[in-house]
Amino acid sequence: MDIKLWTLHLLKVLFPPQVLLPDIVAIDIGLTVATIVIGAYLTKTRKWGWLWHEWLTTVDHKKIGIMYLIAALIMLFRGGVDALMIRSQLIAPNAHFMGAQQYDEVFTTHGTVMIFFMAMPMIFALFNATIPLMIGARDVAFPRLNAISFWLFAFGAILLNISFSIGGSPSAGWMSYPPYSELLYNPGVGENYFLLSLQIAGIGTIATGINFLVTILRMRAPGMSLSKMPIFVWASLITSSLVLFAFPPLTVALGLTMLDRVFGASFFTLGHQGMPMMYVNLFWIFGHPEVYILVMPAFGVFSEVVPTFSRKALFGYEAMVGSLLAISFLSYGTWVHHFFEMGAGPTVNVFFGLSTMLIAIPTGVKMFNWIFTMWGGRIRLTVPMLWQLAFIPTFVVGGATGIMLAAVPGDYQYHNSYFLIAHFHNVILGGTVFGVLSGMYYWWPKMFGWNLNQRQGTWAFALFVGGFWLTFMPQYFLGFEGMTRRMATYPAGLGWTALNVWSTVGAFVMGAGFVVMVYNILWSRMHPDWDTTGDPWDGRTLEWSLPSPAPEYNFARIPVVRSRDEWWSMKQEGRTDEVKTSEATVRPIHMPRNTPMPIMLAAAFFVGAIGLIFGWFWMAILGGVGVVAALAYGSFADYSEIEIDAKKVLKTEAQLGRVES
């Protein structure tokens, strides 16, 4: 009865006790039902072909941007549910809402999902949706690689998200320090899921970094010299360069841990003179630039939103660019502030403490410049602008507490306490999340062709921001009361309860804000307010010179750029006809052809990763062969293109009313 034993064993590996908790089983059933319903719907309406040809194999940056956005919103929901579970557990002392093991899994997934699978794709959604339009290009430099990036991210996200129902979730925290994450202390497959999902998504992220760096450096429209680029493009360029050099150390840190766990090496182990601190070091060489990767695109968004809704030029363009460069440069040299407590000695700590503080200068320059941009303008309180307005007072608090953390002896008391938790939610939500949401509302009409309802958007905004303050301000004080992070629960009598109650209430208010936001999107989809002008906000940069959504090839005629806010100048100087095509100037356009190679490559990575996670080496090899096969196929297929002939271009443009008579 070999087969039977083997099957039993397999079932036990795939479904260990911790994935058989009633709530997880309920979620599993829900997901299965949802999958079946969606599948049935697609079959009934015969939309499989549409899905495959229009989306799964697409290399169009605009569609990839939309897919990133949808995935990011789903992940915000997932991470948000985790957050609400955390807060529910912490509302009262000695709570048993979840067991300790499950709590550990929940905060680990919360952190990992939010950083890697919510914030990063949200940023890439904005990059994809806007960068080529803003620089006057027809696509990114490497469209196929762009699709590969997306699918690697998507399969990485799937990998992390199936862990809770198959085999068990990671539970070592989002930075997963060894030796706790080593086999000796963490024998399940959860940690392997963590390592491999981040590794796969990380490869995709590096590829995105390369792609946008080259796109921005090489594909700008004629005349758009570096000093005429919109600030969001600058922010994206610098973010891409940070990605390039921050992710390889993460790749190494994760890879070495995997070698320890799966192949018996001794890098960070307790025995054999392993050195766990080296992991910590490598992780933060990545981790600190990472937090600026998260926030710089938001800075870029704000630098577009503020001038648009103040109807005024950006204050101090050069200083804005210079400060972005300075922040990115400095951010490589501050990572030790995450482990001042490791005993590296006062000189090391002082060096990194001071380098951290220096970042306040360029950041402060930006804060003041945004305010000065509004000075002498006319501020319209649209939803994107509201998010920006909430950002300034929020982020300054988070940044200021960052400076407190950088004061080394102070950090000896704050480290790993709720003060730290409050700091980083303060900057991540106040900076990154407010920023990407601002950007989402700002570019939504450009991406989809219809506007989001403003009144509902304002409600979502108010609930989210109000809930934010209520959630995270008490946590600073919890830190001073000695509450450390990652406590599955806490005893009564330490005075922690009252503040925790406030914090939990706030989290649910934020949850309500998120629900309103989703309602806002669905309602606006059902009652579309079409954007027929292509320029709903009276914008300043080139993307607003295009119809919403932009045609497949973006620009029928590549504009020649003369000034910083080119579209604004065109409107001011009455040159708007420059974006129109005519029979005389129209040319056939070459666009890259859709290809199934990216999704197949990513699927092969996925299969290989499953093999490594469960230690089924035949499967890992199978995945490896798949990867090589997909790459070889891609190499021989080269970059195939389709030609959109001039007549068709002219027809499309005529329908959009963009042909000169």
Number of residues that bind other proteins (CB under 8 A): 168
Q: From CA 260, how far away is CA 182, in angstroms rounded? A: 7
Question: 366, 472, 374, 382: which is closest to 421 by C-alpha?
Answer: 472
Whichever of 138 and 423 has its CB closer to ligand CUA, that residue is 423
Exactly one of 264, 574, 584, 618 binds other proteins (CB under 8 A); that residue is: 264
Whichever of 288 and 415 has its CB closer to Cu ion, that residue is 288
Binding to ligand CUA (CB under 6 A) within 418-437 occurs at: none
- The DSSP code for 356 is H
Q: Which residue is nearest to Cu ion (CB)?
A: 288
337 binds ligand HEA (CB under 6 A): yes
247 binds ligand CUA (CB under 6 A): no
Q: From CA 269, how far away is CA 253, in angstroms rounded? A: 13
Q: How far is the CB of 202 from ligand HEA (least distance, A)?
A: 16
Question: Which string of x and - marks every residue 33-72 that binds other proteins (by CB under 8 A)?
Answer: ----------------------------------------
586 binds other proteins (CB under 8 A): no
Exactly one of 62, 261, 312, 338 binds ligand CUA (CB under 6 A); that residue is: 338
Alpha carbons within 13 A on the beta-carbon side of 80: 22
Q: H helices within 231-359, ranges in order?
A: 231-263, 276-310, 317-331, 346-358
Binding to ligand CUA (CB under 6 A) within 255-284 occurs at: 284
Number of residues that bind ligand CUA (CB under 6 A): 8
Contact 296, 238 (CB under 8 A): yes
Q: From CA 304, how far away is CA 233, in angstroms rounded? A: 10
Contact 438, 301 (CB under 8 A): yes
Question: Which string of x and - marks every residue 283-302 that binds ligand CUA (by CB under 6 A)?
Answer: -x--xx--x-----------
| Residue 111: its H or E element | helix 100-112
Contact 259, 265 (CB under 8 A): yes
337 binds ligand CUA (CB under 6 A): yes
What does 427 bind: ligand CUA, Cu ion, ligand HEA, none (CB cut-off 5 to 8 Å by kind)?
Answer: ligand HEA
What does 156 bind: other proteins, ligand HEA, ligand CUA, none (CB cut-off 5 to 8 Å by kind)?
Answer: none
Q: How is residue 592 written in tokens? A: 């890259």
Binding to other proteins (CB under 8 A) within 489-518 occurs at: 489-490, 494-496, 498-499
427 binds ligand HEA (CB under 6 A): yes
What does 2 bind: Cu ion, ligand CUA, other proteins, none (CB cut-off 5 to 8 Å by kind)?
Answer: none
Question: 249, 233, 134: which is closest to 559 by C-alpha?
Answer: 134
Secondary structure of 40-54 in HEC code, one letter for each residue: HHHHHCCCHHHHHHH
Whichever of 439 and 479 has its CB closer to other proteins, that residue is 479
First-last CA distance in the chain:
82
- The DSSP code for 314 is P
Binding to other proteins (CB under 8 A) within 117-156 occurs at: 138-139, 141-142, 145
**Residue carrying the six token digits 């974006």:** 579
**Residue carrying the six token digits 């994935």:** 19
- Contacts of 483 by beta carbon, 8 Å cutoff, 6+ apart: 417, 418, 490, 494, 496
Helix (H, G, I), strand (E, B) or coil at 644: strand
Question: 422, 416, 415, 370: which is closest to 397 by C-alpha?
Answer: 422
**Phi-psi region for residue 108, left (φ > 0), alpha (ψ -120 to 50) or beta?**
alpha
291 binds ligand HEA (CB under 6 A): yes
Q: From CA 220, how far away is CA 232, in angstroms rounded? A: 14
Whichever of 367 and 612 has its CB closer to ligand HEA, that residue is 367
Q: From CA 73, how far away is CA 520, in angstroms rounded? A: 13
421 binds ligand HEA (CB under 6 A): yes
Binding to Cu ion (CB under 5 A) within 244-303 occurs at: 288
Q: How far is the CB of 185 from ligand HEA (least distance, A)?
A: 16
- Contacts of 601 by beta carbon, 8 Å cutoff, 6+ apart: 148, 151, 152, 626, 627, 630, 631, 634
Exactly one of 24, 71, 359, 478 binds ligand HEA (CB under 6 A); that residue is: 359
Q: How far is the CB of 469 from Cu ion (least distance, A)?
A: 22
DSSP string, 432-489: IIHHHHHHHHHHHHHHHSEEPPHHHHHHHHHHHHHHHHHHHHHHHHHHHTTPBTT-S-
Q: Which residue is nearest to ligand CUA (CB)?
A: 288
224 binds ligand HEA (CB under 6 A): no
How many CB atoms neighbour CB 271 within 10 A? 8
What does 381 bind: Cu ion, ligand CUA, other proteins, none (CB cut-off 5 to 8 Å by kind)?
Answer: other proteins
Question: 139, 236, 220, 121: which is closest to 550 by C-alpha?
Answer: 139
| Residue 641: its H or E element | strand 641-644
Exactly one of 334, 417, 503, 581 binds ligand CUA (CB under 6 A); that residue is: 334
557 binds Cu ion (CB under 5 A): no
Helix (H, G, I), strand (E, B) or coil at 659: strand
Whichever of 201 and 295 has its CB closer to ligand CUA, that residue is 295
Binding to ligand HEA (CB under 6 A) within 465-494 occurs at: 471, 485-487
Exactly one of 69, 71, 72, 76 binds ligand HEA (CB under 6 A); that residue is: 76
173 binds ligand HEA (CB under 6 A): yes
What does 284 bind: ligand HEA, other proteins, ligand CUA, none (CB cut-off 5 to 8 Å by kind)?
Answer: ligand CUA
Task: Tell me whether residue 409 is exposed, middle or buried, using C-beta atoms within 10 angstroms of its C-beta: 0 to 12, 13 to 18, 19 or more.
Answer: exposed
* Binding residues vs ligand CUA (CB under 6 A): 284, 287-288, 291, 334-335, 337-338
* Binding residues vs ligand HEA (CB under 6 A): 76-77, 80-81, 83-84, 86-87, 107-108, 110-111, 114-115, 118-119, 173-174, 291, 294-295, 337-338, 356, 359-360, 363-364, 367, 396, 399-400, 402-403, 405-406, 411, 414-415, 420-421, 423-425, 427-429, 431-433, 471, 485-487, 503, 507, 510-511, 514-515
* Binding residues vs Cu ion (CB under 5 A): 288
